[in-house]
Amino acid sequence: MNLEDPSVKIAGDVEPEERIPCAFWVFSTIALLFAAAFFFRYDGGFRWDVYDANGYLAGLPRAAAAGVAEGKAGAAAPKPAAASPLEVGREQYQANCAACHQPTGQGMSGQFPPVAGSEWVDGDPRLLAAIVLGGLQGPVKVAGADYNGMMPAWQKTLSDAKIAAILTFLRQSWGNHASAVSEDEVKAVRAEIASHAAPWKIEELRTLSGEKGKKKEN
């Protein structure tokens, strides 16, 4: 036996193993106990309504909401609420009419007549529908002022539903308090004036309206 061989170890020369400090185990145990306590205190019992922070499921029947939360096939998703005619009318007015009649409905003096406080807006809805559908060629008197421009026709651009929403918005905004206009009313006027190709003139509108809806200029 060669005692000088470095591979030969004598009893007692074995290096001691490194032990994990006791403090580490104490700290780990405390951390695990704290985590467990926190989990059981705030887990919400794994209920879907606890984790529905945005109220997405709140409006659903309980069974459907649970189905959506659990990812079940066929679970009903909430349907967005339909916009009211006034909301649709406001959007369509801003997109198609406000450039001329202005977002305030006041128009532009000498160029575009106002729709706020306009006798044409508050008057016979059939005439107003005919104007929007077929357009209007001046001269025309609105709120005591004369205008001689031309309003384009929208019958090929906007649906009956959108025009009805715009008319309802006009007749119930900026101090106007006239009745709403339905899609069926616009559809009926569209059919009635289908053969009329050119923009309306005041005299023609008076003939269209008859005695009931006749407009008088001061």
- Break the chain into its structural domains and give their ranges: 22-70, 85-209
CA–CA dist 27, 33 (Å, integer): 10
Cα distances (angstroms) measured from residue 87 to each of 66, 82, 168, 201: 33, 10, 10, 31
- Per DSSP, the three-state class of 39 is helix
The residue type of 191 is A
The CATH label, of 3.40.640.10, 3.40.190.10, 1.10.760.10, 2.60.260.20, for the domain at 85-209 is 1.10.760.10
Q: C-alpha angle 79/85/91, rounded to 5°?
A: 90
pLDDT at 35: 75
pLDDT at 206: 83
φ, ψ for residue 147 (rounded to 5)? -135, 140
pLDDT at 32: 82
Contact 206, 216 (CB under 8 A): no
**Average pLDDT per 10 consecutive residues for the chain, totaling 218 residues:** 55 59 78 74 57 50 51 56 87 96 95 95 95 96 94 96 97 94 97 93 83 42
Report residue 155 as tokens: 């019958």
Tally Cβ neighbours within 10 Å of residue 98: 15
